[in-house]
Amino acid sequence: MKRKLTNKFIEGQKPDPSKRLDFRDELVPGLVLRISTSGTKTFCLHKRINGKMRRLTIGRFGVVSLAEARERVRQVLYEIETGRFEASTGIEVETKPRLSDVIPDYIEKHAKVHNRDWKRKEALLAKFTTLHGKRIDQIKRADVVKACDVIHKCAPISANRALAHLKHLMGWCVERGMIDTSPIAGMKPLSKERSRERVLTDDELGALWATCDAEGYPFGDCMKLLILSGQRRAEVAEMRWSEVDLEKRLWTLPSQRAKNGRQHTVPITDAMLDVLRRVPKFLGSDYVFTTTGKSPVSGFGRVKRRLDKALPESAESWIIHDLRRTMSTNMAMRGVPQPVTEALLNHKTGVVSGVAAIYNVYSYANEKREALELWNNHVENVTRSAVLPEI
């Protein structure tokens, strides 16, 4: 869009997370203010040079003033018109995009197509704030190491995940010809990860259930269904009424929503049915757990902190995913065969493989229902006498 640029106008502009913004100056032809999705404001010159449209970087707003940008653009235009541009202007011809421009392109063209949890990938890539302003071909391994160190101080495991996503993005850039080689190919994670072994005790399970009772809809009921079903958080939080058959007592999770890409059926027990029947339905909405009717619930951070208060201060830290391990461990203690547990959790561990693994998609219907009823009866026993802790 075209308008007369002023300092007040530039300072008041906010970034659009979905796209970069260009404002052409009416006073000096060719001068453009570009605002990236991350908020970086850069002066550029758009000019056809030797028959090819080029974008020349003038400088960032704040470092270069509007008046200076206009003057430098006039200088470059003079050099171009007099044929002296090729000599030396001190202005860099930008031929490669910056990381802040590549990330939304990568998310749109790759992550949204291939990754169900693309929002998590986008959030982790957003942590590389110190790299966003760099051109993709100028990012060095040392730059990435330094950026990862900053993330690692606050969240060691998140630093590993963020690095993994950035490595994949760089590989994608190589495939698309943006860069010749990835500067971080073969770079190892910053922290060594250990397999989690956290299993909640019966007392902890009862305390959490009592807190979920007090929490109510939507997060309390959603957490109850997580405990009872043993399914993944996103799969339960994004549950649709169209996936639920209350008469046949079955919840069919489509392959598009399942983490492993396989359709999955979950028996609906009496306890699960009791939760679902008390859930309010939004008119015209297919989401089971929602506050707007337009999107499923998200952002479990606050409810997780309230649930943490239900446990003793001496209790070991836990994450929501530990609920699946808790159910799996209790089933093993009660003699449920591992293939049945795998089928119920829709989790491929390698114990069952080959033709048997394919057959498991369609089998164990009765065994899964019996196993889930066994687990739900245990949950009912340990939560019957549970009371809300004093805070």
- How would residue 389 be classed by pLDDT, with cut points 50, 70 and 90? low
Q: What DSSP letter does each residue of 363-387 carry, written as one string? A: --HHHHHHHHHHHHHHHHHHHTT--
Q: Is residue 389 part of a domain?
A: no
Residue 388 lies in a domain: no
The CATH number of residue 364's host domain is: 1.10.443.10
In DSSP notation, 299-340 reads --HHHHHHHHTTS-TTSPP--TTHHHHHHHHHHHHTT--HHH
Where is the domain boundary, 32, 66, 93? Answer: 93
- What's the CA gap between 209 and 246, in Å, rounded? 23
Tens digit of pLDDT for each residue in 314-361?
889 899 999 999 999 999 999 999 999 999 999 765 444 444 444 444
Q: How far apart are CA 101 and CA 133, in angstroms?
A: 9
User: What angle is formed at CA 369 by the lines to CA 364 and CA 371, rounded to 5 degrees?
Assistant: 90
- Residues 268-295 have a mean pLDDT of 95
- Roughly what angle, to the nearest 10 degrees, separates helices 219-229 and 270-277? 160
Instruction: Report the pLDDT value the prediction gives residue 87, as an integer from 0 to 100.
Output: 54
Q: What is the mean pLDDT of the chain?
A: 87
Return the CATH number at 39: 3.30.160.390
Which pLDDT belongs to residue 358?
46
Give the whole-angstrom CA distance, residue 69 versus residue 31.
8
Structural domains counted in the chain: 3
**pLDDT score for 51:** 63
Of the given ranges (103-107, 289-293, 348-352, 375-379), which has the lowest mean pLDDT? Answer: 348-352
Q: How many CB atoms lie within 10 A of CB 80?
A: 20
217 and 276 part of one domain: yes
Dihedral pair phi/psi, residue 353, rounded to 5°: -145, 180
pLDDT confidence of residue 361: 47
Residue of 386 and 293 predicted with greater confidence: 293
CA dist 292 and 280 (Å) reads: 12
Q: For residue range 3-61, what is the model confidence (pLDDT) as tens digits?
A: 889 999 999 999 998 888 999 999 998 999 999 988 999 999 988 776 667 888 899 99
Strands 21-25 and 2-3: parallel
Six token digits for residue 260: 């492993």
190 lies in some domain = no
Q: Is residue 186 part of a domain?
A: no
Which pLDDT band holds residue 244 (cuts at 50, 70, 90)?
very high
Exposure on the CB side of residue 371, measured as CA atoms within 13 A: 27
Residue 367 token pair: 């065994």
Same structural domain for residues 225 and 370? Answer: yes
Q: Which pLDDT score, from 0 to 100, does residue 165 have? A: 95
pLDDT, mean of residues 78-86: 70
Are 134 and 283 in the same domain? no
Tokens of 203: 């007392």
Q: What tens digit of pLDDT does each residue of 54-65 get?
A: 888 899 998 999
C-alpha to C-alpha distance for 93 and 190, rounded to whole angstroms: 35
Q: Give the separation between CA 216 and CA 127, rounded to whole angstroms.
A: 33
CB neighbourhood size of 252 (10 A): 14
pLDDT of residue 258: 86
Task: Confirm whether 285 is domain-assigned.
Answer: yes
- Residue type for position 116: R
Residue type, 302: R
- Both 363 and 284 in a single domain? yes
pLDDT at residue 385, as a whole number: 67
Q: In the predicted model, what is the mean pLDDT of residues 228-247?
A: 95
Residues 87 and 107 in one domain: no
The answer on pLDDT for 223 being more than 90 is yes
Which letter does DSSP use for residue 199 in this model? -
**pLDDT at residue 252 tops 80:** yes
Q: Decide if 121 is inside a domain.
A: yes
User: Domain check: are 258 and 362 in the same one?
Assistant: yes
In this structure, what CATH number is given to the domain that contains residue 147? 1.10.150
329 part of a folded domain:
yes
Do 348 and 210 belong to one domain? Answer: yes
Give the helix ranges, DSSP H, for 42-155: 66-81, 99-106, 112-114, 118-125, 141-154
pLDDT of residue 175: 92
Q: Are residues 61 and 103 in the same domain?
A: no
**The two three-digit tokens of residue 46, written as one number:** 């758009």
Q: How many residues are there in the chain?
A: 391
Question: Residue 37, SS3?
Answer: coil
Same domain assignment for residues 341 and 212: yes
Lowest mean pLDDT among 94-108, 133-147, 158-172, 186-200: 186-200
Average pLDDT over residues 103-112: 93
User: Are 150 and 223 in the same domain?
Assistant: no
Q: Cα separation of 386 and 378, whole Å?
A: 13
Asked if pLDDT for residue 260 goes beyond 90, the answer is no
Domain presence at residue 272? yes
> Model confidence at 187, in pLDDT bands (50, 70, 90)?
very high
Q: Are residues 350 and 210 in the same domain?
A: yes
Residue 167 domain boundaries? 99-175
Q: Of the candidates 160, 175, 190, which is a domain's last residue?
A: 175
- Whether residues 130 and 245 share a domain: the answer is no
User: The whole model's pTM is what?
Assistant: 0.59
Residue that finishes a domain, picked among 67, 93, 119: 93
Q: Which of 38-47, 117-126, 193-202 has the lowest mean pLDDT?
A: 193-202
Pair 386, 210: CB distance under 8 Å: yes
Average pLDDT of the residues in 151-176: 90
